Structure 1
């Protein structure tokens, strides 16, 4: 998929209309699409100037496995996201490995040691990465925790996950986390509450293999501390 194909098959008018009537704009698996950075550049040139209230929407990005791309590609992509931030608030979501990889290529960021005791390098890791990027929101998520850091050090939260050492399913766990966060955030939950919703949705999925209904989310959140205190692979 490239920009020329999007223009040929869809056209700018339809893209503008769809984005105009959306609450969030999401892109996943950047690492697997070598044309995605160029698509973002063209959005800034040809699409964003025609959309009202971009500052009320969100530009959500999930990168995928950064090891599939070289350092210069990743640095260029991060620069593009910083430019996109001038148009629309950016939410960049990283898993713990992706956060580690980015910390190692940023000039002014301490490299994250993923093996540090009690994940101590991740406690401030998201904040340090975003001090250089200055995006609206930067998320780090893992099976053990999630953090979110906002622009200009305004907010920084750590939420422990209801971890289990015996998950039934792990593929798509990250996708469930991301959908949970965006759903919560668009429903006016605050940042920490949105992380709790994302963690809960993920925790249920890895235990059951199913995307939970709202009542199941509510039940897990009621028992959230129990799942933190004790490694329980069973839900409900």
Structure 2
């Protein structure tokens, strides 16, 4: 009925999420690539969050990864992954996995390798203690505001993605988008809820001052 296209025409960021949960989502993405997104007059930023794909077959995952580059003609694509999701994609593409306690530089190299194979603009990978971004503009590593005793951890990755997308919507660079992602997630694990705008600003200031 045209409502989705109209919404996309007014969007700075288009997030495509939960691929794992829907068995026909790859086909839906193909339809969007051919019937909807070519009609956009602007170039929105695309953010893709798979959700843990371990329940899907290798064939399904590989089929999905092959079409990610199909969004690029409509706008730059960022694939957001946690460390475990990144390792799943790496194993399927004959790339070595990276351990959670490895140096951030290893995860950054992993992000660049995935970016090259997938043919997309950017790959972002986040672990509990840090996050990285690999794009044509270079690599960025950001140490997070680690919380040793979180009130809640389930959902922290979703908050990271939300913060990162906030950065995309405001046309921030990779470094500042990572900072926002880490801050939104960092507030969440300490408070078991999402921050308001004012609380996020205060959290960023406390983090910068080293007073968290």
- TM-score normalised to structure 1 length: 0.83
Root mean square deviation of aligned Cα: 1.8
Q: Which residue of structure 2 aligns with residue 6 of structure 1?
A: none
**142, 148, 153: which one aligns with 2:133:** 148
Q: Which stretch has the larger CA shift, 90-99 or 209-218?
A: 209-218
How do 1:155-170 residues align onto structure 2 when only pairs under 5 Å count? 155-170=138-153
The number of equivalent residue pairs is 212
- Higher Rg of the two aligned structures: 1
| Partners of 2:197 and 2:3 in 1: CA distance | 33
| Partners of 1:124 and 1:105 in 2: CA distance | 17
* Secondary structure of the corresponding residue to residue 223 of structure 1: helix
Q: Which residue of structure 2 aligns with residue 191 of structure 1?
A: 174
How far residue 69 of structure 1 moved from its aligned partner, in angstroms, is 0.7
Q: Which residue of structure 2 aligns with residue 32 of structure 1?
A: 21
Q: Which residue of structure 2 aligns with residue 63 of structure 1?
A: 50
Q: 1:203 to 1:66 in 2, by over 3 A?
A: same
How far residue 226 of structure 1 moved from its aligned partner, in angstroms, is 6.3
* Secondary structure of the corresponding residue to residue 103 of structure 2: helix
| Partners of 1:117 and 1:91 in 2: CA distance | 23
Q: Which stretch has the larger CA shift, 92-101 or 120-129?
A: 120-129
Q: Which residue of structure 1 aligns with residue 191 of structure 2?
A: 208
How far residue 29 of structure 1 moved from its aligned partner, in angstroms, is 1.3
Q: Is contact 2:108-2:133 (8 Å) kept?
A: no
Query: Can you give the 5+ residue segments of structure 2 that lack an aligned partner in the other structure?
Result: none
| Partners of 2:172 and 2:32 in 1: CA distance | 28
Q: Which deviations, in whole Å up to 9, do the C-alpha atoms of 1:52-110 show, x marking residues without a partner? A: 11x2x012110011111111111111111112223221111000000111111114xx3
| Partners of 1:155 and 1:214 in 2: CA distance | 30
Q: Is contact 1:112-1:121 (8 Å) kept?
A: no
Q: Which stretch has the larger CA shift, 209-218 or 164-173?
A: 209-218
How far residue 219 of structure 1 moved from its aligned partner, in angstroms, is 2.4
How far residue 116 of structure 1 moved from its aligned partner, in angstroms, is 5.5
Confirm whether residue 18 of structure 1 aligns to residue 3 of structure 2. no
**107, 110, 126: which one aligns with 1:122:** 107
Query: Can you give the 5+ residue segments of structure 1 that lack an aligned partner in the other structure?
Result: 1-10
- Higher relative CO (CA 8 A, sep ≥ 6), structure 1 or 2? 2
Q: Is contact 1:144-1:161 (8 Å) kept?
A: yes
How far residue 120 of structure 1 moved from its aligned partner, in angstroms, is 5.0
| Partners of 1:115 and 1:65 in 2: CA distance | 16
